[in-house]
Amino acid sequence: LPTEKLSDYDVDGGRDLDIFDINEEAGLDLAEGDIVLDGRQTRNS
């Protein structure tokens, strides 16, 4: 017999995170949220 009932596992941690939210939480500060720029692409902000 089952020893105990295990809870479901939410792979998203119960949150609807878009790419940009995931990167922001990870502390990334990339161009447009998810683009790695090199020297030639870097725009003068």
Partner 1 sequence: IIGDEYRWPKTIPYYMEDDLEINAKGVILKAFEQYRLKTCIDFKPWSGESNYISIFKGGGCFSSVGNRHVGKQRLSIGRNCDRIATIEHEFLHALGFWHEMSRSDRDDYVRIMWDRISEGKENNFKTYDDTTSSSLGVPYDYGSMMHYSKNAFRNGTEPTIITKIPDFSDVIGQRMEFSDSDLLKLHRLYNCTQGSTFLDSCDFERENICGMIQGEGDQAEWVRVAEAAGGPDTDYSNMGKCTGSGYFMHFSTGTANNGDTALLESRLLYPKRGFQCLQFFYYNSAGPSDKLKIYVREYDKANANGTLRFIKTIDGSPQQLWQLHHVSLDVKTKFRVVFEGSKEGTGPSTGGLSLDDINLSETTCPEFIWRVKNFSHVMDNTTVNTPIFSPPFTSKEGYRFQMGLYPSGKEGYPGELSAYAHLVASAGDSGQKWPCPWKQMTMMLMDQHPHILKRMSNQRSVTTDPNMKATDSQQFFWDDPRKVGSEVTDADGSRYFRGPGAGTAVYLTHLRAKSRDFIKGGDAIFLLTMEDVSHLTVTQPVPSTAEPPITSGPTGSTGSTGSTATSENCLNVQCLNEGICMVDAGKAVCRCAVGDDWWYYGDTCQNRGSVMDKTNLALATSLSVLAVMLLVTVVSVICVKKKYKKRRGDSSFIMANVHA
Q: Could you list the residues that contact partner 1 (CB under 8 A)?
A: 2-20, 22-23, 25-41, 43, 45
Q: How far is the CB of 13 from partner 1 (least distance, A)?
A: 8
Q: How far is the CB of 32 from partner 1 (least distance, A)?
A: 5
Backbone angles phi, psi at 31, to 5 degrees: -60, 135
Q: How far is the CB of 10 from partner 1 (least distance, A)?
A: 6
Which letter, b or e, does each residue of 4-14 get, where b requires 16 or more Cβ atoms within 10 Å of its Cβ?
Answer: eeeeeeeeeee
